[in-house]
Chain A
Amino acid sequence: MTINPAFAPWLDPQAKPIIDFQSVTKNYGDFTAIDNIDLKIYPREFFALLGPSGCGKTTLMRMLAGFETATKGTILIDGQDMADVPAHKRAVNMMFQSYALFPHLSVADNIAFGLKRSDMPKSEIGGRVDEMLRLVQLGKFAKRKPHQLSGGQRQRVALARALAKGPKLLLLDEPLGALDKKLRHETQFELMDIQEKTGTTFVIVTHDQEEAMTVASRIAVMDHGRLAQVDTPDRVYEVPNSVYVADFIGDVNIIRGAVGSVDSDIADLKWSEGAAPIRALAGPDLKPGARAAFAVRPEKVGISQSEPTDMHNRVQGRVEDIAYLGNMSMYFVRLADGTLVKAQVANVRRISRRGITWDDQVWLSWTDTAGIILPD
């Protein structure tokens, strides 16, 4: 997202959050769906929730919209405790994962539904509905009933309906999942545009990491009802705080071992008998001797036929497989101890790296700051 680099209210202790979860827990019977979460989301943020299925993303949204009450803890919106505020009194609109379109109303009436119950004058409703229809490119479908639409069209109606009232806070539960790539990119762009124009705060659930990276000001990675990491997209990607996050976001190589020395922000990992320790950024809570894992992205691993003697981190292996992905190639290299490491190389020339092929002995190398050592 091309946000103003100064936009980082989460770093400002004076900033007032629009959403404030204070030690919130949600139980269903003896199952804990949300486990003691503390989270602040600030006005004008585009906040993405990421996590595997069943980790509690929808539950978090439903608590904000007012359909679930927290078992423990407090939820504040704009500084106001939401415990006793019913859903219809919250200045929050939600787009449902299941769309929840009204089957007895036409597309236009679905979009107008919330407007008719707001203080918008009747004469302006038609214009606003048209504007929304144009936005989601459904102008021709205004008179249809939801059952006469395709899945992607329904999703866009649900999106338009949630956007129509122009709420302060918009909750989108997988808003673009059913759209094709082109339409998805257009809609992402539209959402960012809307956000820029109206200053709405967005909380969006997505399964698409690329989407989260593109649109979000911050990303929360969830794991079994807890927040594994909340950070800006680049930091979640570059400096994950746990193996779970590193593994969940993007492609990653994991090499397991034990912590050698730790020296402020650089640490050593002993990973294989007789091999030099890996030197990399030190993650949080590393103790010498403890189990740890080194995580490095494939695009940060270099591959060469001759030994790169100038690099501290270099290992030898045999090329087991090469995947040609058009704009890049992925080399799967088996190290002596059996670990498989992926190295990704951009295909800048037409047939690049012709030199390296199956079963070749190669060297892999990376800089000291390319990867990170995390507690395992």
Chain B
Amino acid sequence: MRKLTWFNTVSLTLGFAFLYIPIVILVIYSFNKSKLVTVWGGFSPKWYGELLQNQAFLDAAKVTLQVGVVSSTLATVLGTMAAFVIVRGGRFYGRTLFSGMIYAPLVMPEVITGLSLLLLFIAIGMDRGVMTIVLAHATFSMCYVSVVVSSRLVSFDQSLEEAAQDLGCTPWDAFKSVTLPIIAPAVFSGWLLAFTLSLDDLVIASFTSGPASTTLPIKIFSSVRLGVSPEINALSTIMIALVTVGVVTASIVSKRAIAQQKRDEQMAEQ
């Protein structure tokens, strides 16, 4: 290993400090015994206990997960279909317009997306609730999915599907048993992206949520406006822990897959 120069050491430390000190402080204060957020009153995990008693937070967490899973699944299906049309559809009439419109929500300000969806739901007389958030999230995250999936599809060798059909697959069977397994990593990362976006979203959710369907970001944001409570710190710490576990697991899994592949290749050379 090479030793770092003092300059590199300092910039590394500063960078990490900038990124992680706020989070570390938040985690530390989530174990604060005192009710005052800024005064250290000794170690205690009691706020985690309180959190579990807080029905409003638990409900919000449930809504968030429901919305996340359903909307990202919906977005993955729609986004993958859109990606297929864009990549495979050939030069049909209006293709440029269609693909441009698919990607527009990427750059559209969230406030506008949220507002327009709100107006739509009011216009068609749809009661706001979990369903409307799901639809709203699926709408804006499907374009992310279609970007991820179409970039994979571009390099997908279409003769594989032809070979499958040649060997007796219907087009749908060929898609299921050849195309999908091969593009599965891209589809999965599209899903993960959509899920994260949904967990993360405050603006669009606040436009489209109803009284009985508050998501965690909305809940956190509104309670912070009444003052930061240690409970919020505890909740945030849990979310950080979940995300960390998820990221670490994903990276371990993919490292293992790469190592396995390397082993296979070495075997092949013998």
Contact = CB atoms under 8 A, between A and B. Distances in A.
**Chain A complexes with chain B:** yes
Interface of A: 65-67, 86-88, 92-94, 96, 98, 100-104, 113-114, 117-118, 144-145, 147-149, 161, 165
Interface in B66-108: none
Given A98-B157, A149-B268, A117 B169 contact: yes
Interface stretch (B11-19, B44-52, B159-167, B212-220): B159-167
Contact of A145 (B163, B170, B181, B264): B264
Interface string B146-170: 0000000000010110111111111
A165 B167 contact: yes
Given A145-B264, A149-B268, A88 B181 contact: no
A102 B160 contact: yes
Given A92-B166, A114-B166, 17 more contacts: A65-B162, A66-B166, A67-B162, A88-B171, A94-B163, A98-B159, A101-B163, A104-B181, A114-B167, A117-B168, A117-B173, A118-B168, A145-B264, A148-B264, A148-B267, A161-B163, A161-B167
A96 B162 contact: yes
Nearest to B266: A148
B169 A88 contact: yes
B164 A113 contact: yes
A144 to B, nearest CB: 6
B168 A102 contact: no
Contact of B166 (A65, A98, A149): A65
Contacts of B167: 93, 113-114, 117, 161, 165
Nearest to A141: B268
Contacts of B264: 144-145, 148
5 contacts: A88-B165, A88-B171, A101-B163, A117-B173, A118-B168
B132 to A, nearest CB: 39
Nearest to B177: A113
B240 interface: no
A96 to B, nearest CB: 6
A29 to B, nearest CB: 11
B268 A88 contact: no
Contact of B182 (A94, A103, A113, A114): A103
Contacts of A94: 163, 166
Contacts of B267: 148
Contact of B268 (A101, A113, A118, A144): A144
Interface of B: 157, 159-160, 162-171, 173-174, 178, 181-182, 264-265, 267-268
Contact of A88 (B159, B166, B178): B166
A101 B165 CA distance: 13
A337 B76 CA distance: 75
A65 to B, nearest CB: 6
B263 to A, nearest CB: 11
A153 B181 CA distance: 23
B163 A100 contact: yes
A110 B181 CA distance: 14
B157 A100 contact: yes
Contacts of B173: 88, 117
Nearest to B269: A148
Nearest to A98: B159
A219 B83 CA distance: 44
A143 to B, nearest CB: 9
Contacts of A118: 168
Contact of B163 (A102, A104, A144, A165): A102
Given A148-B264, A148-B267, A148-B268, A87 B159 contact: no
**Pairs of residues from A and B, 4 with the lowest C-beta to C-beta distance, nearest first:** A114-B167, A148-B268, A117-B168, A100-B163
Output the residue of B159, B170, B173, B265 with the most chain A CB within 10 A. Answer: B159
B179 to A, nearest CB: 10
Contacts of A144: 264, 268
Contacts of A66: 165-166
Contacts of B170: 86, 88
Contacts of A65: 162, 166
A88 B181 CA distance: 20
B266 to A, nearest CB: 10
A113 B170 CA distance: 13
Contacts of B160: 100, 102-103
A2 B143 CA distance: 62
A87 B181 contact: no
A60 to B, nearest CB: 15
Contacts of A96: 159, 162-163
A114 B165 contact: no
A165 to B, nearest CB: 7
A113 B159 CA distance: 15
Contacts of A102: 160, 163-164, 178, 182
B169 A100 contact: no
Nearest to B184: A104
Nearest to A88: B165
Nearest to A158: B163
A94 B260 CA distance: 33
A35 B217 CA distance: 65
A148 B268 CA distance: 5
Nearest to A104: B181
Nearest to B163: A100
Contacts of B163: 94, 96, 100-102, 161
A113 B169 CA distance: 9
Contact of A104 (B169, B171, B182, B268): B182
A101 to B, nearest CB: 8
A357 B65 CA distance: 91
A368 to B, nearest CB: 51
A87 B166 CA distance: 6
Given A104-B182, A117-B173, A149-B268, A88 B168 contact: yes
